[in-house]
Amino acid sequence: QLEKAYEELDRFVYSASHDLRAPLMSILGITNLALIEPDVQSQNEYLELISQSVKKMDIFILNIIDYYKNERGKSNITNIDFQTLIEDARLSIQYLPEFNNFKINIHLLQDAPFFSDLVKLRMIFNNLITNAVKFQSLNIPDPKLDIFITVSQKQAELVFEDNGKGIREDDLKQIFTMFYRADESKSGSGIGLYIVSEAVKKLGGQIW
């Protein structure tokens, strides 16, 4: 556990210095350009670029907060309403530009109540749903995510199946590694799937 903590700390320091400084330097550069730009329309375009950089920083900070909650937070066991859980996740990402034409289909088969840690499950659903939206295939007219939930007396099995880009074979072994990015073309902290994996482990589950 100590070796794991040191390794994560090293990765965190490197990533924080890069993922927080890069947007800041971008904001500083764009601000300097805006200050010498007399055209109001061009200034508005600069403001939009600044807004995008701020959103990148916000995503990174929110992921770090989730990581802390997952590692240090106390468990809060409650009866889980999967429909509400997914709807909350949907509402939290509806502002994403990629979300406009995206459909989320829920297939729930539940014959017993399911008690678990709501905070950890929310992290799992939010991250996996967000990934499906962000990494959808632009060549498909009907991007979608099907979530299959089967709850029995013994366990809950969750299957997230989308028709997006997919994951390269070479990346499969590393996608749950802290700060690993399988697709550099998209903005992200590289910590989302790591948080998902750690949350699943703390709930006594498995993910693949």
Q: Is the pLDDT higher at 154 or at 17?
A: 154
Residue 151 has pLDDT above 90, yes or no: yes
Q: How far is CA 152 from CA 115, 122, 197, in A?
A: 11, 20, 22
Could you tell me which of 162, 159, 148, 150 has the C-alpha nearest to residue 103?
162
Residue reference for tokens 């199946």? 161
pLDDT at position 31: 84
pLDDT at position 6: 67
pLDDT at position 2: 76
pLDDT at position 52: 73
Mean pLDDT for the chain?
82
Range with the lowest mean pLDDT among 10-14, 163-167, 192-196?
10-14
SS3 content of the chain, % helix, strand, coil (to 5): 55, 15, 30
Range with the lowest mean pLDDT among 104-118, 168-182, 183-197?
183-197
DSSP state for residue 74 in the 8-state scheme: P
